[in-house]
Chain A
Amino acid sequence: MKALVAVKRVVDANVKVRVKPDNSGVDLTNVKMSINPFCEIAVEEAVRLKEKGTVSEIIVVSVGPKEAQEQIRSSMALGADRGILVETADDIGALEVAKILKGVVEQEQPQLILLGKQAIDDDSNQVGQMLAALLGSGQATFASEVKVDGDKVQVTREIDGGLQTVELALPAVITTDLRLNEPRYAALPNIMKARKKPLDSKTPADYGVTASTKLKTLKVESPAERQAGVQVKSVDELVEKLKNEAKVI
């Protein structure tokens, strides 16, 4: 079966971002960009399923700027077979991304659709659920284990109280949690090979989607700074401060 994996180009997880002085957004000039960590886990899971013989072809798709090609190539270096880049402006909403992905799914007819549970830039945690709704298929969010069995898939999900296992009919949408797997590193020969793998370029219009959103970001600010704390020298001093100064115990 075919697997489709959606990946997003985001600021690298280790970068401490700065808000622009005019409060229009976060400053992304000369900042290291990477594949969203949750998306990387989705790619890894698809590759593992291919290694097991469950999946025959992995298509990786990214909706974003031209530079997102890099993230598609990195996914190919990890084992994806081909890529699709749907080029859009930066400010596209989750619903519009889901609509574009729906168009891709209808064209490619994958049985498994894998996404990260959230992108670490907008922290929305919406696209997978929206895509599943638009397709009318089942969804398993926050997956920590995926087992494909014939035309069904059993997914263990991380929920607030612990774990929940659900069974979905294929095709299904799965969004990955951090504990699903440990992504591999791309070996140099695979990076070289990835350069030769096919990468299609599309636009939202190819899928009949107008890339805009009815959510307007009016302002982006830095969060309130915490007052600098004090170093205490002993447990006695700590207990004294907590009791008399902070009055929390």
Chain B
Amino acid sequence: MSILVIAEHDNKTLNAATLHVVAAAQKIGGDITVLVAGSGAQAVADAAAKVAGVGKVLLADNAVYANQLAENVAALVADLGKGYKHILAAATTNGKNILPRAAALLDVSMISDIISVESANTFKRPIYAGNAIATVQSEEAVILATVRGTAFDAVAAEGGSAAVETVGEAKDAGVSKFVSEEIVKSERPELAAARIVVSGGRGVGSGENYHKILDPLADKLGAALGASRAAVDAGFVPNDMQVGQTGKIVAPELYIAVGISGAIQHLAGMKDSKVIVAINKDEEAPINAVADYWLVGDLNTVVPELVAKI
């Protein structure tokens, strides 16, 4: 049994999401190989080699993999993947972009967003925005799956000593080209990995008010900032801060929802948080049904008071 894990990275550092995927791979059991496809990504391969539980690292270092274009990376994954029983990637936008393409090239079905490993070919995954959990069994010769990071505890980033092997010639599929990228810079912890998340919804009123109210609370708690789809659509904050079925899935120790009503689509992204606090002026808001503690009040006075008292 051998497992290929696709590394998530930006050519410089290995993204923590990969550590969660390795954890899922360990639950399946077998030799774990990590594939680093990138450009100038030696440092990423070295970091992957140190990850606990990793047996081997394959480095495909070529300009055609620089921006993780699905056309090129999926072709590589399908090509290398034939020799493996499982191929796993993180359920990030990158993993979701690449893995189904690789599956179709291998002519196999794939399983998205697994939250538990029942056996080597049986997995659980959420459907209907997390309102039902399906147990799915794959009869494919090669099993491809994306892994929901928040459902598996990360393995240690240190402690391994895998060999790094360089692989194959790279081919440019020639149907797509990278043009540009706009990455939002932030000093705060990464949303998907943060221990505490402070999230704002339509109730905060405006982008200006969002930051005026929520920044001090996030600063005080060392928390990441998130938002509901309503807040993103209203233009309060950029879309990469969206928590929900169509945004990021988070499961921090503490999730503070401020001015969020709690639509099904939002709950799908945060209801596995350990402790949920809701601050809302509406006593009937659906968010209160999943909250451990809920406070009915005007967020403009309650949140600053909270900042002052913690």
Contact = CB atoms under 8 A, between A and B. Distances in A.
B80 interface: no
Contacts of A89: none
Interface in A101-160: 117-118, 120-134, 136-142, 144, 154, 157-160
A142 to B, nearest CB: 6
A235 B137 contact: no
Nearest to A161: B183
Interface string B230-246: 00110000111000011
Label chain A's interface by main secondary structure: mixed
A51 B139 CA distance: 46
Contacts of B130: 223
A154 B253 CA distance: 40
Interface stretch (B52-60, B63-71, B152-160, B204-212): B63-71
A164 B181 contact: yes
Given A162-B238, A249-B310, A134 B104 contact: yes
Contacts of B254: 242, 246, 248-249
Contacts of B129: 120, 123
Given A164-B181, A223-B131, A141 B97 contact: yes
Interface stretch (B25-33, B81-89, B161-169, B284-292): B284-292
A223 B246 CA distance: 19
A214 to B, nearest CB: 4
Given A160-B93, A230-B292, A218 B122 contact: yes
Contacts of B96: 125, 129, 141
A213 B110 CA distance: 10
A121 B137 contact: no
Given A159-B93, A213-B109, A220-B133, A231 B104 contact: no
B50 interface: no
Contacts, number: 255
A11 interface: yes
B63 to A, nearest CB: 15
Q: Which of A93, A138, A238 has the most CB of B within 10 A?
A: A238
Label chain B's interface by main secondary structure: mixed
Interface residues of A, number: 84
Interface stretch (A42-50, A171-179, A191-199): A171-179
B14 interface: no
Contacts of B253: 248
A239 B221 contact: no
Contact of B128 (A120, A133, A166, A249): A120
B132 A26 contact: yes
Interface in A26-80: 26
A121 B112 contact: no
A232 B295 contact: yes
A120 to B, nearest CB: 6
A221 interface: yes
B240 A215 contact: no
A133 B310 contact: no
A127 B305 CA distance: 48
A133 B275 contact: no
A154 B108 contact: no
A242 B101 contact: no
Given A231-B295, A231-B296, A248-B196, A242 B128 contact: no
B113 interface: yes
B84 to A, nearest CB: 17
A242 B294 CA distance: 11
A161 B304 CA distance: 29
Contacts of A219: 134-135
Contact of A217 (B71, B135, B221): B135
B93 A158 contact: yes
Interface string A81-113: 000000000000111001000000000000000
Contact of A160 (B92, B173, B179, B274): B92
Contact of A167 (B112, B176, B221): B176
A126 B128 contact: no
B246 A177 contact: yes
Given A142-B93, A162-B238, 12 more contacts: A123-B113, A130-B104, A139-B176, A159-B181, A215-B111, A218-B136, A221-B133, A222-B133, A226-B292, A231-B294, A235-B302, A248-B196
7 contacts: A95-B104, A159-B240, A177-B246, A226-B290, A230-B293, A241-B293, A249-B221
